[in-house]
Structure 1
């Protein structure tokens, strides 16, 4: 039986990332050398810094009347720039959908993945579904895992491979696959493939490379059950992140527990939160569930 533990994971940043302020439906952050102001629907309170501080941001994302928007940038603001975390190098970029290719709150997971794979003391095969810009894959590969990265976006995969080059990890065993996650999992089940680690970061909505539609609430439970069937007899970790969904972290944990019940171990779940280095308000960003096996005797 799986033991469940509810816990809020708080990331207070690192040298290249800092949450500066939140409020008024926005967040003010430092990514490397640049300060960005972006919308955030969770930040419904009032900001603490004066408006001049916000106006001094190198780039501010302005929403339009629909779901999109555009960046307004200072003259010295590049479209992309380098960042580092714990020895990894990667590229941050101003995208048309307000993201930067880096979800800083996941640094708590990166540390956990790194520690878990290194402690395993044996070869680990990891499947990274919806791998986006590849940071979880790079952390795992650097720690010694053989990684299969899957994403339906060609630009995202190109970005991830560029991050691999920037980190000097081109010699590490990462298999890069442009594919629909559901179709890939179904093929792997037919092949009786096995993985010792599973990481999933599914969007609330998406499209596959051939126009396949993805809706989190409709498709995630079945996809996770199929992916969990690919786990070996001795897995070391399972991690799921979810953003912009209406479900509770308890609901996410229940879905994950459905497929891992017979394996025992501990399922930790809760909110992912960013915290400012200076006194300020915490910002919820998403939810997660991550599983670990029982410690070896």
Structure 2
């Protein structure tokens, strides 16, 4: 065998050899039972009954295939019920039984924020994310060093406030001016005006590409993308078409000594295994652990568990 033949064989072997990957853990069910200002009270027949601060709210929930435990009169007495059919992006309206102002105050772990009824059936917080908030705060605090966090598709800013309070410098990106305005309101409501957070209204894909060119790097990245969306200049986001490139680009934005990456996906026809393998591929060559599965909310009092979303998250320290 000639030297050139040996070299070709070595190159072919290297090309087919799997890259080093983080350790893999799946399936993982991350569960919250709520807190003082939030509870899943009951669910069933395609709906869920929740408590947000002082209001009881009924919203559609196609995952709730079972029968409600509580009497229909309890559901009928809810302060607000979302009326509308269709998917997560369909406009609807709220039927109010109780007079409700523009906003109302809530708290999570001593961080104040504002609830608000929107035309898309949301109220400004995704309670199941609390398990991620606790996890990232622990990592930021444990790092005991300056930590820079990028929050993409950051919505109303709860994760950004949690990260900044834990000691991180945060860059928060969302394509909606309304969401950015709401996030700023939440920072005021939290009584934390001096936290180091940059609130930026911009298309996430364009921002990540520009950060890559600039050579800016982050110790932690949070991605909470919608299934479908539009940027401030009409940019189109489709999670199945855009997520692979976005995740690879985000992996490239991590520092040489990073801490974490969190991906959450809502309302998509997919398996958490898809997120799991995609995240592992994007982070090939790094150590640490990728864990993936579902975020679930447990009904108050230890009742049934309701799955809300898929997730995949990586931590450098395992």
TM-score surpassing 0.5?
Answer: yes
- Identify the match of residue 110 of structure 1 among 133, 139, 156: 133
In 1: Cα distance, 2:98 partner to 2:130 partner: 30
SS of residue in 1 equivalent to 2:184? helix
- Identify the match of residue 22 of structure 1 among 17, 20, 43: 43
Cα offset, 1:64, TM superposition: 4.8
Aligned to 1:58: 79
In 1: Cα distance, 2:52 partner to 2:120 partner: 17
Cα offset, 1:3, TM superposition: 0.7
SS of residue in 2 equivalent to 1:165? helix
Aligned to 2:167: 144
Indicate the RMSD between aligned Cα atoms, in angstroms. 1.2
In 1: Cα distance, 2:313 partner to 2:305 partner: 21
Alignment of 1:1-297 (within 5 A): 1-6=21-26, 7-64=28-85, 67-294=90-317
Gaps of 5+ in 2: 1-20
Does structure 1 conserve the Cα–Cα contact (< 8 Å) formed by 2:247 and 2:279? yes
Q: Give the direction of change, closer, same or farther, for the CA distance of 1:95–1:263 in structure 2 (3 Å limit).
A: same
Gaps of 5+ in 1: none
In 1: Cα distance, 2:120 partner to 2:199 partner: 24
Q: Give the direction of change, closer, same or farther, for the CA distance of 1:289–1:65 in structure 2 (3 Å limit).
A: closer
In 1: Cα distance, 2:317 partner to 2:303 partner: 37
TM-score relative to the length of structure 1: 0.97
The structure with the largest alpha-carbon Rg is 2
Query: Aligned pair count?
Result: 295
Q: Give the direction of change, closer, same or farther, for the CA distance of 1:285–1:50 in structure 2 (3 Å limit).
A: same
